[in-house]
């Protein structure tokens, strides 16, 4: 870092408290953005392959114009009639499966996930929530209890975990196909039964629809639909966290479409406002109205005219620019290109994901699929030096996470692949 950045970092530590997280061994200082690019104070452009917030590109002109116009006309809380928020809800409902009939807006997915958990508990009259052992759904006190349950933090009376489904590192060596699916379903069933035995009772299951934080694992065929059946037979609700999976990210509008299951509640977040804080929960009308009658829930800064026009502009851009088909097509080609490179290095264990959300698993070259977190971190830092922003992530922090704005194009992809080849050739890969 230069002297100015070192001074800025010192000021940051004093203002925020030391320990506030930053990416990369040498942090980046950005001052402007456009499309897929972020620019530092020296004017160098970096292609963004990580951030899920600017899903239609940084500073998209249509979104900028919409929020600029609205903030100069009207912006009030949600307890007045205003057409744009209603229109946003109607358009989102039309994009979802038939069981999703109503919307509740929040400012963050943490709030939306917490509200979803409250709904499940109110409807069922029970308190037990099941999640995976490597999940993440937000930062509030309630939602944070779901993170890394059974691995980093212990299960509690109201939160139980089961191992996330994964064909690459199965529960037992040699388990594949139907047998592997059954093994994971048994773990889910056991977590539910323990609630029943304790008297807490089972309220619901919450999962990212594509297990993004777990590392985009290849899920055994049929697992999600069968897990949903198990939850419903036990009297619980299925909550699909679509914050990373949704908004055309995988080449489908929603991750639950990709993995073929029918959630009772869906949660959306980061991409919705392209930088304007906006999140939402969708569910059936009877469940929503029961919740509203019990809580009289409102959110001062949610469903405002400003948020609504930002959300509408994002939907307009996705539809008008044909980004759904673009993501499916380009994402498939980029994944195939990375898979071609897999055989060139024993350190590349797997390439997985869908659309423009891909992960490259970095392992130790001993044939045992042991995760190599440090080498993945090194690779992410090397790609940053070459002008491409990724991060090491996943359950073992050994997956290079590739998640660019949806306007990422063929030329950007080719440039990234060239940088990838340079990066892995410059070290012991």
Please give the backbone phi and psi of residue 35, each rounded to the nearest 5 degrees, phi first: 60, -120
Condensed to tens digits (0 to 9), the pLDDT of residues 155-192 reads 899 999 999 999 999 999 999 999 999 999 999 999 99
Count Cβ atoms below 10 Å from residue 139 Cβ, excluding itself: 13
pTM of the model: 0.95
d(CA 160, CA 133): 9
Query: Could you read off the pLDDT of 356-371 as tens digits, one per residue?
Result: 999 999 999 887 899 9
Position 139 scores a pLDDT of 85
Region 42-69: what's the mean pLDDT? 97
Burial grade of 81 (CB within 10 A; 0-12, 13-18, 19 or more): exposed
Phi, then psi, of 323 in degrees rounded to 5:
-75, -25
pLDDT score of 428: 66
Residue 196 burial (10 A CB sphere; 0-12, 13-18, 19+): middle
Residue 297: predicted pLDDT: 87
Which residue, among 232, 64, 204, has the nearest Cα to 122 in the 3D structure?
204
In order of their start, the domains of the chain are: 3-56+322-425 (3.90.1150.10), 63-320 (3.40.640.10)
Burial class (CB in 10 A: 0-12, 13-18, 19+), 45: middle
Partnered with residue 48 across adjacent β-strands are 389
Give the Cα separation of 144 and 135 in Å (integer): 10
pLDDT of 121 > 90? The answer is yes
Q: How many CB atoms are closer than 10 A to CB 31?
A: 10
* Cα atoms in the 13 Å half-sphere on the side-chain side of 253: 11
Sign of CA dihedral 133, 137, 138, 143: negative
pLDDT tens digits, residue range 295-342?
Answer: 988 888 889 999 999 999 999 999 999 999 999 999 999 999 999 999
- Comparing CA positions, the residue from 153, 157, 150, 146 lying closest to residue 113 is 146
Q: Give the residue-averaged pLDDT of 227-231.
A: 98
**Residue 121 pairs with which residues in a beta bridge?**
none
Terminal CA-to-CA distance of the chain, rounded, Å?
Answer: 27
What does the pLDDT read at residue 35? Answer: 98
Q: Does 429 score more than 60 pLDDT? A: no
User: Is the model's pLDDT at 12 over the cut of 90?
Assistant: yes
**Alpha helices, DSSP H only, in 132-252?**
141-144, 177-198, 223-233
Checking if the pLDDT of 4 tops 90, the result is no
Percent of the chain at pLDDT exceeding 70: 98
Q: Contact at 8 Å (CB) between 263 and 257?
A: no
């Amino acid at each position: 870092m230069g002297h100015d950045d070192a001074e800025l970092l010192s000021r940051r530590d004093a203002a925020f408290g030391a320990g506030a997280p930053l990416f990369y061994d040498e942090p980046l200082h950005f001052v402007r953005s456009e499309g897929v690019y972020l620019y530092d104070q020296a004017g160098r452009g970096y292609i963004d392959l990580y951030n899920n917030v600017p899903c239609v590109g940084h500073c998209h002109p249509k979104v900028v114009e919409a929020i600029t116009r609205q903030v100069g006309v009207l912006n009030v809380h949600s307890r007045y009639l205003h057409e744009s928020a209603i229109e946003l809800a109607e358009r989102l409902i039309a994009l979802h499966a038939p069981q999703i009939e109503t919307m509740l807006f929040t400012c963050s997915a943490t709030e939306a996930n917490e509200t979803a958990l409250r709904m499940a508990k109110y409807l069922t009259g029970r308190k037990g929530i099941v999640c995976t052992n490597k999940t993440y759904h937000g930062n509030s006190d309630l939602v944070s209890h779901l993170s890394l349950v059974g691995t980093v933090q212990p299960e509690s009376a109201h939160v139980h975990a089961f191992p996330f489904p994964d064909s690459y590192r199965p529960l037992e060596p040699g388990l594949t196909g139907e047998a592997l699916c059954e093994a994971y379903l048994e773990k889910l069933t056991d977590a539910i039964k323990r609630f029943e035995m304790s008297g807490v009772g089972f309220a619901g299951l919450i999962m990212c629809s594509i297990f993004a934080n777990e590392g985009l694992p290849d899920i055994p065929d049929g697992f999600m639909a069968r897990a949903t059946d198990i939850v419903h037979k036990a009297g619980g609700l299925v909550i699909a966290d679509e914050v990373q999976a949704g908004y055309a990210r995988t080449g489908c509008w929603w991750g639950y479409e990709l993995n073929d299951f029918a959630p009772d509640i869906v949660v959306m977040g980061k991409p919705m406002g392209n930088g304007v804080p906006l999140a939402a929960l969708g569910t059936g009308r009877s469940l929503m109205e029961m919740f509203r009658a019990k809580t009289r829930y409102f959110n001062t800064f949610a469903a405002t005219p400003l948020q609504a026009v930002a959300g509408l502009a994002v939907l307009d851009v996705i539809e008008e620019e044909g980004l759904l088909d673009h993501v499916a097509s380009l994402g498939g080609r980029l994944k195939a290109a990375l898979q071609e490179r897999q055989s060139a290095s024993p350190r590349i264990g797997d390439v997985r994901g869908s659309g423009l959300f891909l992960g490259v698993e970095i392992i130790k070259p001993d044939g045992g699929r042991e995760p190599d977190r440090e080498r993945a971190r090194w690779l992410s830092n090397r790609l940053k030096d070459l002008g491409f922003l990724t991060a090491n992530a996943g359950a073992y922090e050994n997956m290079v996470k590739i998640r660019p704005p949806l306007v990422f194009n063929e030329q950007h992809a080719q440039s990234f692949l060239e940088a990838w080849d340079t990066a892995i050739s410059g070290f012991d890969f």
